[in-house]
Amino acid sequence: MTLTISEIFDQAAEKVRTTGFEHTATFTPGVGSPVEDVAVDLITAIEDQPGTLDAQVWGTDTTIEYLLDDIGSEADEGDVFTIDGTDYTVTRVLQNDGRFVKVAVK
């Protein structure tokens, strides 16, 4: 059986969702019903000053990545992901490649 490139990418995306994403979230859109058991990757990155300066934290960015098919659409500003009792509100979409979506949250 020969797979199309799209089928190969779909299988790879499913593998990432089931083995690569660490958290399960409830997604609550501003309009519509909540979606439970969404596999997500929650990342908090710390941005430091360049190495030639005294190290001080500039700030942190928190992002959530999920499979587009799990929610059915790109998250909108104000939508909420709840992970382990903590709400993360979407501030903007950073990436959407048609399979995975990465959003900035606060």
Give the pLDDT confidence of 4-52 residue by residue, as tens digits: 888 887 787 777 777 778 899 999 999 999 999 999 999 988 665 555 5
* Full set of structural domains in the chain with CATH: 5-105 (2.40.10)
* Angle (nearest 5°) at CA 93 between 28 and 47: 110
Phi, psi angles (nearest 5°) of residue 62: -115, 130
Q: What is the reported pTM?
A: 0.79
60-102: pLDDT as tens digits: 789 999 999 999 999 999 999 999 999 999 999 999 999 999 9
